[in-house]
């Protein structure tokens, strides 16, 4: 980040903790429908593909507002942006709960689109704040912790949503996750009163924005984001249902096993930055390329294995390597641009990444329903992983790249 602050380490960790809970709450709400696909489909009278749209449309909101989020947070005070977005998120959750109880599917789709739009702005501002609260030498650690909120939220959703669905109903799970975020952001607001957190230096000029949008390496890293986000949502959106259909697990058991994939990913996210900085002199590409190279054969293994123990082991490895590469894309893309427009570069990464995440649940759902099985869906994931490997082979380290346009 381009700013600075006088925040102590203890307060920096407190701020990061509140934002972690806030982002995790939204992420849990984002993926919750994937954990109870059959229940929602039966209650709303839609197909499983229709239910998967409830995940995808949330991500569509993130796609549409990713670049505006970068522009907004490069120009406005991030603390106020976070609080305003938390308020809008609370409204969108209330709207979603009403639509769910009324059986109004399309109103629910609209509410979740708004939730995704709000989420991407809040997330970008949270990255700015955490980056500015820590000393520059410790930013990677703070951002690494914040990044674990996404797989952490996915793990919570897979493990908890089926249990909530049997007690308060699946619309009630939306209320729980909405309250989690609003309370956390209220804690963040109270904990940062009176603090000076400067998240930027000079305002960026239009030419700087243009340089970001025409930088081929920014878009190339965005392509890597498309692949990694696609793989992440492939497993997180359909894995619970796959475990129920192919292994005969109950909904709660399937959710518990599926939670392994994002849970181990949280560990990978917080360690990848340290490995890159301490043992690879800040190099990002070896880890990103290595993660794709490992996930390609693992997709085939997961599709073929029929032992639950072996599947669990494969999911642990797949969850770790996928998230390890994904976590480094945030610093990777920022290193190709001027410091004053890093949020815009992250916006490009978000557009591409969330586009892949948006398309994947719907495409895989269509493949599963069209073919009556999961083979074609796993073939799609294999192709995405292979394409990501080839692209990662081409993208250089930022410090080794030739000036764009030369």
Please name which of 203, 328, 340, 186 lies closest in space to residue 270, comparing C-alpha atoms: 328
Tens digits of residue pLDDT in 226-265: 999 999 989 888 888 888 888 988 888 888 888 888 888 8
Average pLDDT over residues 356-381: 91
pLDDT higher than 60, residue 406: no
d(CA 146, CA 173): 23
The Cβ of residue 250 has, within 10 Å, a number of other Cβ atoms equal to: 11
Q: Following DSSP, what letter does each residue of 6-41 receive, concatenated?
A: ---HHHHHHHHHHHHHHHHHHHHHHHHHHHTHHHHH
Q: Domains in the chain, start-ordered, CATH in brackets?
A: 4-191+204-398 (1.20.1250.20)
Ranges 19-23, 87-91, 131-135, 144-148: which has the least confidence = 131-135
pLDDT above 50: residue 294: yes
Contact present, 205 and 6 (Cβ < 8 Å) = no
**Whole-number Å distance between alpha carbons of 15 and 26:** 17
How far, in Å, are 27, 141, 269 from residue 148 at the CA level? Answer: 11, 11, 6
Q: Tokens standing for 398?
A: 């930022």
Tell me the sheet residues that pair with 4. 198
> Per-residue confidence at 198, pLDDT binned at 50, 70, 90?
low
Alpha helix segments (H runs only) across 248-341: 251-258, 260-279, 285-304, 308-334
Q: Name the pTM for this structure.
A: 0.81
CB atoms within 10 A of CB 219: 18
> Rounded distance, CA 68 to CA 202, Å?
19
Taking CA atoms, 284 is separated from 291, 335, 387, in Å, by 11, 10, 18
């Amino acid at each position: 980040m381009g700013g600075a602050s006088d925040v102590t380490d203890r307060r920096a960790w407190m701020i990061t903790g509140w934002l972690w809970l806030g982002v995790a709450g939204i992420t849990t709400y984002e993926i919750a429908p994937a954990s109870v696909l059959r229940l929602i489909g039966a209650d709303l009278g839609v197909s499983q593909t229709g239910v998967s749209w409830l995940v995808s449309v949330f991500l569509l909101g993130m796609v549409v507002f990713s670049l505006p989020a970068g522009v907004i947070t490069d120009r406005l005070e991030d603390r106020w942006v976070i609080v305003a977005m938390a308020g809008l998120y609370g409204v969108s959750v209330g709207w979603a709960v009403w639509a769910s109880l009324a059986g109004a599917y399309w109103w629910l789709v609209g509410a979740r689109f708004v939730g995704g739009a709000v989420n991407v702005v809040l997330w970008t501002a949270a990255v700015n704040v955490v980056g500015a609260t820590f000393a520059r030498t410790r930013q990677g650690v703070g951002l690494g912790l914040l990044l674990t909120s996404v797989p952490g939220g996915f793990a919570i959703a897979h493990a908890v949503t089926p249990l909530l669905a049997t007690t308060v109903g699946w619309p009630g799970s939306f209320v729980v996750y909405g309250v989690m975020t609003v309370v956390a952001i209220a804690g963040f607001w109270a904990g940062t009163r009176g603090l000076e957190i400067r998240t930027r230096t000079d305002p960026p000029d239009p030419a700087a924005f243009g340089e970001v949008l025409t930088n081929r390496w920014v878009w190339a890293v965005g392509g890597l984001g498309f692949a990694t986000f696609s793989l992440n949502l492939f497993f997180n959106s359909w894995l619970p249902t796959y475990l129920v259909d192919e292994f005969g697990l109950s909904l709660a058991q399937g959710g518990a096993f599926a939670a392994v994939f994002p849970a181990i990913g949280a560990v990978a996210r917080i360690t990848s930055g340290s490995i890159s900085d301490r043992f690879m002199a800040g190099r990002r590409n070896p880890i990103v390329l290595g993660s794709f190279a490992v996930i390609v054969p693992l997709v085939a293994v997961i599709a073929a294995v029929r032992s639950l123990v072996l599947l669990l082991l494969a999911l642990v490895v797949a969850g770790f390597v996928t998230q390890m590469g994904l976590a480094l894309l945030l610093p990777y893309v920022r290193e190709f641009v001027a410091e004053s427009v890093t949020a815009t570069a992250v916006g490009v990464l978000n557009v591409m990444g969330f586009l892949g995440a948006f398309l994947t649940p719907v495409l895989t759902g269509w493949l599963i329903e069209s073919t009556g099985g999961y083979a074609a869906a796993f073939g799609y994931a294999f192709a995405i992983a292979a394409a990501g490997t080839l692209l990662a082979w081409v993208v250089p380290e930022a410090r080794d790249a030739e000036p764009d346009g030369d």
